[in-house]
Structure 1
Amino acid sequence: MKRIILLLVLLLILTACSSCTSLTAENLMKDFKGTEIDSSLIGNQQQNSADKTTEIADFSLAIFKRIQENENTLISPLSIISALSMTANGAEKNTLSQMEEVFGTDIGSLNEYLYSYRVDLPTSDKFKVSIANSIWFKDTKNLIIEEGFLQTNKDYYNADVYKAPFDDSTKNDINAWVNKKTNEQIKELLREKPPENSVLYLINALSFDAEWQEIYQDTAIREGEFTNKAGKKKTVDFMDSAEYGYIELPNAIGFSKPYADNQYSFVALLPEEGFSVSDFIKSLDGKLLINAIKNQSDERIYAFIPKFTFEYSKELSEILKELGIKDAFDVNLADFSAIGSSEGNLFINRVIHKTKIEVDEKGTKAGAVTAVELYAGAAAKTEPKIVKLNRPFFFMIVDNKFHMPIFMGVLNDVK
């Protein structure tokens, strides 16, 4: 069966400034029950989904504008916001307020939105989507985890909780958990045992497995010319199809191509000739972008997508500081006391984001890893338009209900 696979693994590493003394890991969730969430919450959050999706899109674009350069770029907004939201559940005072200001919303409503998004994920025989979360904390007398922090992440993220020695057995346990939750697509997350000062891991894994709504046939694959950002022309394989989701923005046109049962879509936006993809991205905000997707017309177009694959990684801590999350990265100012207590003050050391995407006639394979490391211390019918992605373009993978940008990227070159 021809399928598309999107894989999301999110890793948060919390460590302490002072050295902590020193499985199969013990799963504490056997007796740790989540609080039942009011069922009306889902309906309320769906009514407010436009605002929350716009806020997440704004936050994601703010990051994207600061990292997009000459190379191919890919981030997972859902991964990044989920990682930081779980972390924010342990933040207090100015540390929390700075994070909420950058998110564009308070952590309580963000928890509710991400909860409603997770529990309302559609699934069928043709596509399967799942999100899993876990918390791993070091088995040491110097670390005491607040039950309220665990309870919140259990309630809203359905997180499992493991107590582990943070040695080679913990590395093996975490890799086994990730391998299982990503349907064996990501077999190894940790190459070495947790660092000496690490005391807590929060991991999110998302698995997306679906077919294109219309699979490309061999006759729909033909060679064409792609001009990369440097102006070099190269011959690549293009996939062509007729689509019915035409998108128009100032200085760009594009289309959406649906996956199975029209639950998710690949969205591509091509800046007009003479207008760089970087300048186009700078002109965007969350509301403009989401509204353009929501208001796409059913006008028929001929779409040409190049086959491409690439990997991308970025350490995001400096960018997040620029956006206003400052105290969380400062050993003296960070306040993550709602997580618990340790020998040293908890603070974020790094936020590592890694992604990979593959687009071909079978569909799309994409994955992302985000690591947060904390230390203590409708148009009129006309002739079909043609949108040929034969030069740098902006793309996203979105769900068609909330219009959440699950992945967001730029293809500057086909390698």
Structure 2
Amino acid sequence: MSIRTPPTLLQLAGKRLLRDQALAIAALEYLPAELFPQLFILAYRRRRHKESLKAMAQAWPFTVLPLGGLRHRLRVNILKTVLDGLDVLLAQEVCPRRWKLRVLDLRNLGADFWRMWCGDSTQEPPPICPVDVHRSSPNIEHPLTPVEVFLDLNFKERDRDEFFMYVIQWAQQREGLVHLCCKTLRIAAVPFQRVRQVLDAVQLVCIQEVELKCTWDLPTLRMFALYLGQMRNLQKLSLSHIHILGEEEEVEEQEEDVQECLKTPLEKFTISHCRCLTNLDLTHLFLSPHLRQLKSLTLYCASLADFSPVFLRALLEAVTPPLQALSLDKCAMVDSQVEAILPVLSRCHQLSFFTITQNRLSLATVGKLLRHTAGLRSLELELYPVPLECYTTQGTVNMERLALVRAELTGILRELGKSRMILLVNKHRGYPEYYDVEFSCQLDCSVPL
């Protein structure tokens, strides 16, 4: 028989107070700030306490209300209740003494806030995030407003159109009093018309991150590129499962459209699950001046098997010098291609994360990688594939061979004379398996002669 955790005194007091909504609302003026989160959660979970929620939104004693971080999905009717409370404040010419709320955060970022305040009472509650971390995108000019609302446009979730449009229309109707900021746009397998309706209603200049996973046709991609061009503060772009079908000239024109629409240098660029990449695709993308300041480049499950080593080296030379993270996982790369990019890798002195797993590389090539990356002082995490010599004809790892390979790689690390740990990752179809290879100068020096 399971034993349920008894409610805390704070929870019991909150439940007792909420039995009388009039009493609860009147008590808010005298309630300590640290009791608000627990009382808010209790009222949120009980639909009949809408007036209490509305009153708490008006009296919220912190600068940020992370409404999107609640464990259960935020419902439109609850959102309406909170916004009704804000409307009362916005309608007042003079701010009330206890009105401290500056940011309504509808993104799913505040779970720790609610967990700490309303969970284990023995732990010290975290400080409320300052308004500074909720600033709009850089270089955005907008009038100072009493309240900023942050919202992620995530079309991966179903049936969110009503939620998005309600927030957008509410903010539009209160222009000058509310500034709506949407920093992230995620699109996955939805009709473009659904997305377009929302994009037409928000300030695209606020968007900093775009994730696109779809199979739209060329005309649709071209229309989306026009919206992309208005995202002048875009920093991160991720393209996944993009399958462009059409005549070569049409595809080339579309790639040029996307390139021309990028208005500012990107910091992070990702291509994943795009197996039909051509020389033309990568040439248009990598030679764009907006990729010359990349801090993170990820190619995952993007087949590079048909690319010549010289071509890959030229492409990486265009983007890699400022890189801090480089991922080339599951790209069907072979020894000759990796050897061609070794000189480029050795010059990435800001690189702190490097992974090239699930590629068919020999022990000799993995050893060359270790030697060419040995001079990168910022490198903290390195993941390499289990060398081909370790696999059986059935595709499984022979543990005896693996032990010999790990010993040989340890010898290379010892030869290089620098404390270092790398991880070897097998090409198992299920969960990856990791094998560490480590050398420590201190341990080596402590061994008696």
TM-score normalised by structure 1 residue count? 0.21
Structure number with greater Rg is: 2
Of structures 1 and 2, the one scoring higher in RCO (CA 8 A, sep 6+) is 1
TM-score normalised to structure 2 length: 0.20
